[in-house]
Amino acid sequence: MATLKQLRRRIRSAKNIQQITRAMKLVAAARLRRAQDRVLDARPYAETMRALMASLAQAGEMPEHPLLVRRPIRKYGVVLVTADRGLAGSFNTNLIRRAWEFIKATPGESTLLSVGNKGMQFFKKRGYEIGAHFNVPTSGPTIVHAQAVFEKASEMFTSGEVDAIYLGYSKFYSAIRQVPEVVQLLPIEPPQSEEAAASTKNYKFEPDAATLLSQLLPRYALTLILQALLESTASEHGARMTAMTSATDNAGEMIQSLTLQANRSRQASITKEILEVVGGAEALKG
């Protein structure tokens, strides 16, 4: 059984940990609010871009474009968006597991384009090729960061270094729900929409639909990357806030349990001392 001194030391340690986790929870909550606002603000643009691409694809023939070229997949790249740091619950673990399962199930040689350190560290330790690495600041991704990823991915694809590029990220639903996904980025697959096809029957495009589609393809791919960066950032902060909330609550429960044990130990010690005093007094009387 632990001594009173040991219990008090453990209580101090638990309180120090609780202070740290509470501070991290508050920081994550503030960052989550900003990241969530950015995700919600960006989604209408991404959905409108998707609908526009579907409309143009239905309105005319697909143009010849380097980002649309299909060829047998001998080697492919995976853009994996993870966090730079841990203490985010299962956020990194779930995303890395999803990407690893995808790589193992997809034939051909693979190379990783990592965004964030956690994904790069995992795959590098296991001997996977790291084709490129990108960092996103804690303040969150911008179009500049998405542009850097797009330029590298499109360069690798159009040069024939890889035959396809996939995008792995965590889609944000709430602070307690984030779903890892892997989607195809290149070659671009223009979205299909029956509603879009019906809505464009009476429209004329200037210039023609194929020309517009060709001009919008790079921007569409850039939009997919930026949205993935924003979604993963919000997912990371949501997962970290949830994990730190749980850690703070657990520390509180541990402090209560240890305090109860310490009180009982102190009471037992006092009772023992009283009994010794009473026993000594009785011995003197005898």
Q: Tell me whether residue 1 is in a domain.
A: no
Q: Tell me whether residue 207 is in a domain.
A: yes
pLDDT for the residue 156: 96
Write the CATH number for 62: 3.40.1380.10
CA atoms in the 13 A half-sphere facing the CB of 271 = 6
pTM: 0.86
pLDDT for the residue 1: 65
> Looking at the predicted structure, is the pLDDT value of residue 200 above 80?
no
pLDDT for the residue 212: 80
* pLDDT (tens digit per residue) in 73-83: 999 999 999 99
Tell me the mean pLDDT in the region 152-177: 95
Q: Tell me whether residue 66 is in a domain.
A: yes
Q: Is the peptide bond before 63 cis (omega within 30 degrees of 0)?
A: no
Domain that holds residue 177: 26-193+203-241
pLDDT for the residue 49: 86
184 confidence band (pLDDT: 50, 70, 90): very high
Q: Tell me whether residue 251 is in a domain.
A: no
Q: Tell me whether residue 256 is in a domain.
A: no
Tell me the mean pLDDT in the region 102-125: 95
pLDDT for the residue 60: 65
55 confidence band (pLDDT: 50, 70, 90): confident
**How many domains does one find in the chain?**
1
Residue count (the chain): 286
Q: Highest-confidence range of 196-200, 205-209, 214-218, 265-269, by mean pLDDT?
A: 214-218
State the distance between the two ends of the chain, measured CA to CA, in whole angstroms. 35
* pLDDT (tens digit per residue) in 26-37: 999 999 999 999
Tell me the mean pLDDT in the region 54-67: 77
> Looking at the predicted structure, is the pLDDT value of residue 262 above 90?
no
Q: Tell me whether residue 252 is in a domain.
A: no
Q: Which of 61-65, 88-92, 131-135 has the lowest mean pLDDT?
A: 61-65
Q: Name the average pLDDT for the chain.
A: 89
Contact 129, 112 (CB under 8 A): yes
pLDDT for the residue 202: 56
The pair of three-digit structure tokens given for residue 31, joined into one six-digit string: 């960052």
Tell me the mean pLDDT in the region 33-48: 92
pLDDT for the residue 280: 74
Q: Tell me whether residue 94 is in a domain.
A: yes
pLDDT for the residue 193: 58
Write b or e for each residue in 84-117: b if 16 or more Cβ atoms lie within 10 A of its Cβ, otherwise e. beebbbebbbbbbebbbebbeeeeeebbbbbbbb
80 compared with 1, residue with greater pLDDT: 80
pLDDT for the residue 270: 83
**What are the CA-CA distances from residue 136 to residues 27, 51, 140, 216 (Å)?**
18, 29, 6, 25
Q: Tell me whether residue 9 is in a domain.
A: no
